[in-house]
């Protein structure tokens, strides 16, 4: 008799994301501006004339956040916001990641770690 077991691990992440107050204010302003842009009735792709409102901004690091928008249809949309802290592109940028984007970023994390691992010895 073959037995199979399902192992589940419950883990609470105890990370504290500290976002500078000014950057947080900029995020709030940018997210609300994007909600207004997405709510435009003549926006390409707004077939159902949906209105968008910021439901919640969730800091995920000091320079990233997930912004949940609620549509007047009751549906939710998740936006990935990231902050560029200098140069001509300084400020909050965003995109709406697909499942494919998320899968790709999970893979990216591995390769980024390998770069950091290789580069560490060059600090001395």
> How far is residue 110 CA from its own chain's centroid?
18
Residue 47 covered by a domain: yes
Q: What is this structure's pTM?
A: 0.80
- Quick check: is 4 in a domain? no
Give residue 43's domain range.
Answer: 21-119
Q: Is residue 10 part of a domain?
A: no
**Helix intervals (H) in the chain:** 21-38, 99-120
What pLDDT shows up at residue 14? 52
**What is the separation, in whole angstroms, between the first and last Cα of the chain?**
57
Per-residue pLDDT of the chain (124 residues; tens, 9 = 90+): 555 444 444 445 455 557 899 999 999 999 999 999 999 999 999 999 999 999 999 999 999 999 999 999 999 999 999 999 999 999 999 999 999 999 999 999 999 999 999 999 999 9
Domains in the chain, number: 1
**Strand order across the beta sheet in which 91-95 lies:** 52-59, 64-71, 76-84, 91-95
């Amino acid at each position: 008799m073959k037995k199979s077991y399902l192992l589940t691990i419950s883990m609470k992440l105890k990370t504290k994301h500290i976002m500078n107050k000014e950057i947080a204010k900029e995020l709030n302003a940018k997210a609300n501006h994007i909600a207004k842009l997405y709510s435009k009735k003549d926006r390409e792709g707004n077939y159902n004339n949906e209105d968008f409102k910021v439901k919640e901004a969730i800091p995920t690091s000091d320079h990233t956040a997930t912004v949940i928008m609620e549509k007047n249809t009751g549906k939710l949309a998740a936006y990935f916001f990231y902050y560029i802290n200098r140069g001509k592109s300084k400020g909050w940028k965003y995109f709406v990641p697909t499942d494919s984007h998320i899968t790709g970023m999970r893979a990216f994390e591995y390769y980024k770690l390998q770069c950091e691992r290789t580069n560490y010895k060059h600090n001395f």
